[in-house]
Structures are given as C-alpha cells and as structure tokens.
Amino acid sequence: MQLEDYFSFLAPNDIRLVGSRIGIETILYEYIYRARTPEEIAQNYPSITLEQVYATILYYLHNKETVSKYIADWLEYCLKSEREQDENPHPFVIRLRKLKAERGAATQILNEH
C-alpha cells in the first residue's frame, strides 16, 4: 500500500482520510497545534484508525512544505468564516443573544431585590 492510498484527494484544498469525512487538517491540527499524541487523536475520532492517524502524520512529514501551506490556508479560511459569522450572524443566533441578554437582565433585577 502506498501512503497516498490512505487519502481521498477531492480538491486541492480538500484531502480526507479514505472511508471517512475527516480531513487531514483535523488530524494535523490536533497533532501540531494541540500537541495530541496519535493515540489520543485516534481515541477522539473513533471513525478512523490509529494507522490512519500515523499515515496522516507521515504524509505531513514527507510533504511538509505543501501540507503546511494547506493547513495555513485552512486556518485562514476558518478565521475568515468566523469573522463573517460574527459580522453577519444568522437570525437564530441574534434571537439567542437577545434571549440571553433578557435573562441576564432579569437575573440582575432579581439579585438586586
């Protein structure tokens, strides 16, 4: 089996583990940025195997420059999406925020009395 056989290359910005909807960015974020061990990662994602986690890490180590850019682009996309959601929240989120503020005000009034 070749290392690439562990992955589905759906698009330049979408590489997933075969038989799973989990992207390599998920595994590598846990490994690189959260300092999780391969065993911890496999335990947290029961739909993948420890072998798949190690294959993802090995793929990263063999293609460090390309995969590092892939992850950086993914992180940038996530931050951009988060900003957009903060600037233009869904109506349901606006309603939840309003309810939370109303409850907070009601609780404060009760605490004052």
**Residue pLDDT, tens place only, 96-107:** 888 888 888 777
pLDDT score at 93: 84
pLDDT score at 55: 98
pLDDT score at 89: 84
Chain position carrying tokens 């409850």: 103
pLDDT score at 101: 87
Interval 42-52 mean pLDDT: 96
> Residue ranges per domain, the chain?
3-87
Helices (DSSP H) in the chain: which residue ranges?
24-28, 38-44, 50-62, 64-87, 91-112
What's the rounded Cα separation, in Å, for the pair 35 and 103? Answer: 39
Interval 33-42 mean pLDDT: 97
Span between the terminal Cα atoms of the chain, in Å: 71
**Fold of the domain spanning 3-87:** Arc Repressor Mutant, subunit A (1.10.10)
Name the 3-class secondary structure at 23: strand
Task: Report which residue type is found at 69.
Answer: K
Task: Report which residue type is found at 50.
Answer: L
Global model pTM greater than 0.85: no
